[in-house]
Amino acid sequence: MNPLRHLRNRKVLAVLAFVVLLLVMALWPATVPVDLAPVARGTLLVTVEEEGETRVRDRFLVSAPVAGQVLRIALEPGDPVRKDETLLATFLPAAPHLLDARSRAEAEAAVAAARATLGGSRAEEKRAEAALTLARAEHERHRELFDQKIVSQQALDAAETEARAAEEAFRAAEFAMASAEHQLEMARARLLQATGTGRAGQPIEIRSPIDGVVFKRYRWSEAVVQPGEPLLELGDPRRLEIVSDLLSTDAVRVDPGDPVLIEQWGGDEALRGTVRLVEPSGFMKISALGVEEQRVNVIVDFEDPAFAWEKLGDGYRVEVRVVIWQGEDVVKVPTSSLFRKGDDWAVFALESGRARLVPVELGRRNGLEAQVVSGLEAGQEVVVHPSDTLADGTRVVSRAS
């Protein structure tokens, strides 16, 4: 064989082999780097999240009982007050002025109405006290039955909630009675001045009707005031609640008794609360983007002891997460791994280095995770944020590796 021809054939074969190698490399499926997340098994919370604001449950507005001169008020916001002990304000009433028959009848009617309100408040306090006694006894009975394994933990929790609600109702009844007593005293003072039985310049001392602190001071300097002019606002900072205005579409999913996580309040750990009331009436609110929204107030009570949130005050901002559903030991995936395949949901699962399209059936979802009813098992890995170029069978590699 001619050596030159043999050498030429070897060169042709080498060129052909190189071309084939280039074609194989060009047509070989590329390995796509992806982000992977495990299919986990654990607790899933479905929540409704919104900002909220703390507020004192019961407020007491102290106002001027009669026209006259109020002396300088020394109390400042934050000062503690004691019922029937702390002097709030001192009045020097103006000279009595006689009223016509109609005005005098109105003043007398105001006293009678205040007296009737006080009677109703006293009766409500007794009723609330009896309900509290019964609720505490029922709670104690459920605790004994629970220790004997006769009733469930859920029944014990329900009895404890009833006892706590009865205690709050009794406290509210006590506050209402103190308020009614104060209103009766003020109505009597106005009637005495109007009928001329009081003397001009005789001081009238107003003492605190409740145990609490001063929240606001509307007047501090000596001045002449008219009847009903506000002077101080009192309240008990230990009786805080949270009000959060939810979208009406979210509020219909919330029920009294739902657990609440209170976050972003300034502490290191989330606080626990319970929905006490979903108000039956909504209202319109303009959002920051100028959109009209129907909102509903949801009232939340603290579950943690007072020392856990003692640094919170009236009007503080918090964030609430109302738990409307909770599942234990459920299979879940990140919602960022889900995408639509026709009318169904699907994910790309990692199998032998390739992305496999897997249809899944979903249950409950929140903003971060979704419950998988069927299609995946705990321990598998799925692609998160899959790109449009990813297809079934594509070779993939984790970016973390």
Does residue 386 have a pLDDT over 70? Answer: yes
Residues 80 and 208 placed together within one structural domain of the fold: yes
CA distances to 68, 358, 391 from 33, in Å: 82, 19, 13
Residues 71 and 215 placed together within one structural domain of the fold: yes
Give the per-residue pLDDT at 97.
56
Tell me the per-residue pLDDT of 246-289, one tens digit each, with 9 for 90 and over: 999 999 999 988 999 999 998 888 999 999 999 999 999 988 88
Give the per-residue pLDDT at 29.
58
Torsion of CA 235, 237, 239, 243, to 10 degrees: 90
Q: Which of 38-47, 49-58, 106-115, 198-207 has the lowest mean pLDDT?
A: 198-207
Residues 304 and 168 placed together within one structural domain of the fold: no
Give the per-residue pLDDT at 160.
80
Give the per-residue pLDDT at 336.
92
Residues 181 and 213 placed together within one structural domain of the fold: no
CATH of the domain at 89: 2.40.50.100
- CB contact set of 135 (below 8 Å; sequence gap of 6+): 159, 162, 163, 165, 166, 167
Q: Is residue 307 part of a domain?
A: yes
Residues 64 and 51 placed together within one structural domain of the fold: no
Residues 215 and 74 placed together within one structural domain of the fold: yes
Residues 111 and 188 placed together within one structural domain of the fold: yes
Q: Is residue 299 part of a domain?
A: yes
Beta bridge partners of 272: 261
Measure the CA–CA gap between 147 and 98, rounded to whole angstroms.
70
Residues 170 and 137 placed together within one structural domain of the fold: yes
pLDDT band at residue 361, thresholds of 50, 70 and 90?
A: very high
Residues 312 and 252 placed together within one structural domain of the fold: yes
Residue % of the chain over a pLDDT of 90: 29
Residues 167 and 120 placed together within one structural domain of the fold: yes
Question: Quick one: which H or E segment has residue 312?
Answer: none
Q: Which of 12-21, 88-97, 339-348 has the lowest mean pLDDT?
A: 12-21
pLDDT band at residue 28, thresholds of 50, 70 and 90?
A: low
Residue % of the chain over a pLDDT of 70: 85
Measure the CA–CA gap between 346 and 393, rounded to whole angstroms.
14
**What residues make up the domain containing 367?**
32-44+328-398
Residues 104 and 226 placed together within one structural domain of the fold: no
Q: What is the mean predicted confidence (pLDDT) over 172-190?
A: 73
Give the per-residue pLDDT at 384.
93
- Residue among 110, 88, 89 at smallest CA distance from 99: 110
- Among 174, 199, 224, give the residue marking a domain's end: 199
Q: Is the model's pTM score more than 0.75?
A: no
Tell me the per-residue pLDDT of 120-145, one tens digit each, with 9 for 90 and over: 878 888 888 888 888 888 888 888 88
Q: What is the mean predicted confidence (pLDDT) over 357-377?
A: 91
Output the six-digit token pair for 309: 């949130």
Give the per-residue pLDDT at 321.
94
Tell me the per-residue pLDDT of 327-345, one tens digit each, with 9 for 90 and over: 888 999 999 999 998 889 9
Does residue 319 have a pLDDT over 80? Answer: yes
Does residue 187 have a pLDDT over 80? Answer: no
Give the per-residue pLDDT at 192.
63
The phi and psi torsions of 304 (rounded to 5 degrees) equal -70, 155
Q: What is the mean predicted confidence (pLDDT) over 48-67?
A: 87
Burial class (CB in 10 A: 0-12, 13-18, 19+), 246: buried
Give the per-residue pLDDT at 337.
92
Does residue 70 have a pLDDT over 80? Answer: yes
The phi and psi torsions of 41 (rounded to 5 degrees) equal -125, 125
Output the six-digit token pair for 130: 């009896």
Q: Is residue 156 part of a domain?
A: yes
- CB contact set of 9 (below 8 Å; sequence gap of 6+): none
Domain tally for the chain? Answer: 4
Give the per-residue pLDDT at 64.
82
Average pLDDT in the chain: 83
